[in-house]
A and B are shown apart, each in its own frame.
Chain A
Amino acid sequence: MSELITFCGAFAKQPVQYRKAVRVKRMLPGISKVETSLEEVFNKIPITNGMTLSFHHHLRNGDQVVNLVLATAAKLGIRDLNIALSSVFPVHAPLIDHVCNGVVTGLDTNYLSGPVAKAISQGLLPQPIIMRTHGGRARAIECGQLPIDVAFIAAPCADSYGNLNGVMGKNACGSLGYAFPDAEYADYVVAITDCLEEYPLAQISISQTRVDYVVTIDSIGDAKGIVSGTTQVTKDPVGLKIAQMAAQVIQATGLLQDGFSFQTGAGGVSLAVAHYVRKMMQAGNITGSFALGGITGYMVDMLNDGCFQRLLDVQGFDMAAVRSLAANINHREIGADCYANPFNSGCAVNQLDAVILGATEIDTSFNVNVTTGSDGIIMGGSGGHSDAAAGAKVTIIVTNLLRGRLPIIVEKVLTVTTPGESVDVVVTERGIAVNPRRSDLRQRLADAGITVMNIEDLKLMAERIAGKPEQIVLADKVVALVEYRDGTIIDVVKQISSAN
């Protein structure tokens, strides 16, 4: 592992290097890329001990490609693999056995949930895993800190010469944006598909010029786990109140005018914020510029209603998003580099006016934890959290004051995912706090008649209701390095104590 540098400010580190050179390939005329046997591809490349294999997560909890590839590696007796999977879901539980059997010895990811996350927290791996941001992963691949031997791309649709898209086929997932850097920089690229079309494909997300093999299998995933049927605005009255307050904050910032750009998550409260923002935009006859990030049907509706002129889509969350990406030229697919890489000539998050983000904990210095739960177990990761927070003019955290008795505002978060300097406003159902660094925002909110509290007072309010929680005890072993988007280490995650 290269030397670790400690985080010292969201924009402190400047890149002084050239991008990694990409292996030059050639393909002679008359050669077929189509294979029906994954084992055959393993042997042809060949995949050997100690390699880094990469995967993208657009199939989410419906993904069957990671498990299939790792089962093949295990069968062939390959060991010591480093797995660079952009997000880990419960469906990836077999990864635990592959670690126990020595097939996998390293993990590099931006988000983990489910059994793998818990096992990592319990000290499954001898070495710490690396947790990056979505933009940071693109940066690491391009700058050579995450060299990929073989990228496996789950392709909902492929043609026989390796052009790929995510919008066709029985397991369409929409954007393939997180796989773009992998395809561009890996030594070998293997597309795995269950929908092989004739050459050339009409819509191309990843080009034949980077894809070496096309492997056909019966099914790359389970559609039920890939897309949510419908992503819905929350019905919880507390969530709705928080969302309404957050929308009022956005309005008070003065950013809600023609050209407004916005990012919000797929969670119920985030969508509810979009709902109130949409009403405000319609009432004020405002035409926004673009919405960014993971795209839901709700964002598609806003595009079609004229609230936004474009959607920039790095990941689709539901079928409405998939259909829209296929059909609407104003709905654009972007890669992880374009979305959020801090080390290029400008990524899309830099163009954001407002972003709505969540938190499992936020401290009185506005640092946010979305990596570990209050019990210390990994239950997420930055994903695009730190990226969007750094780029947007206004970053708003929406959260309940308490979640199942636990105060969300604490003195010091267990794990820093996103630094407080890039977080501007916290909205809870019982009050709003503004980062002291943003006295301009505090003034605007006050001018709009919004009461602003000190974050310490919000913390005390929660503790008066629930009592002050006792500190949890952790073991000494570091199980994860939390890397900020620029590659510096912002925090570490420690193993949970065996008592828990």
Chain B
Amino acid sequence: MVNKTAQAGTLESNDIMITVAPARQCSGIVIDLESIVLPQYGQTIRKVILQAVQAYGIANAYIKAIDRGALDYTIRARTEAALQRSGAAKRAFR
């Protein structure tokens, strides 16, 4: 669960800055994405963030992502780091 607002990443090129914040019950995962490659990779970036969040079993969160052309593994790592800083814990496998 996201207990508090937390952030990971930078605004350097090829990085992404992810901010996660608690959200009300039933609000779902809201991703607010800015990207320099939005037309070409917007869908991909959303998918990678969503998968990382779901792996933590989180149902409600507000996520602000400012992308500067990060590759998928960077997006995944920054999302996980922000989630862990917010107090979320990764679900055990299976």
Contacts and interface: CB of A to CB of B under 8 A. Distances in A.
B14 A374 contact: no
A466 B68 contact: no
Contacts of A405: 14, 36-37, 40-41, 69-71
Contacts of A500: 39
A405 B68 CA distance: 8
Contact of B14 (A404, A467, A469): A404
A206 interface: no
B36 to A, nearest CB: 6
Q: Which of B37, B40, B41 has the most CB of A within 10 A?
A: B40
A496 to B, nearest CB: 9
B13 interface: yes
Contacts of B42: 470
A475 interface: no
Interface in A405-460: 405-406
A144 B42 CA distance: 47
B37 A472 contact: no
Contacts of B71: 405, 465-466
Contacts of A469: 37, 40-41
Contacts of A470: 39-43
A199 B13 CA distance: 54
Size class of the A contact interface (CB-based, 8 Å): 10 to 19
B40 A404 contact: no
Contacts of A406: 37, 40, 69
Nearest to B38: A500
Q: Which of B42, B43, B69 has the most CB of A within 10 A?
A: B69
Q: Which of A375, A405, A467, A500 has the most CB of B within 10 A?
A: A405
Contact of A473 (B14, B39, B43, B69): B39
B72 interface: yes
Given A404-B37, A470-B41, 9 more contacts: A404-B13, A404-B14, A404-B69, A405-B70, A406-B69, A470-B39, A470-B42, A470-B43, A472-B40
Interface of A: 374-375, 404-406, 465-467, 469-470, 472-473, 500
30 contacts: A374-B37, A374-B40, A375-B39, A404-B14, A404-B36, A404-B37, A404-B68, A404-B69, A405-B14, A405-B41, A405-B69, A405-B70, A405-B71, A406-B37, A406-B40, A406-B69, A465-B71, A466-B41, A467-B41, A467-B44, A467-B72, A469-B37, A469-B40, A469-B41, A470-B39, A470-B41, A470-B42, A470-B43, A473-B39, A500-B39
The 7 closest A-B pairs by CB, nearest first: A404-B69, A469-B40, A405-B69, A472-B39, A405-B37, A470-B40, A467-B44
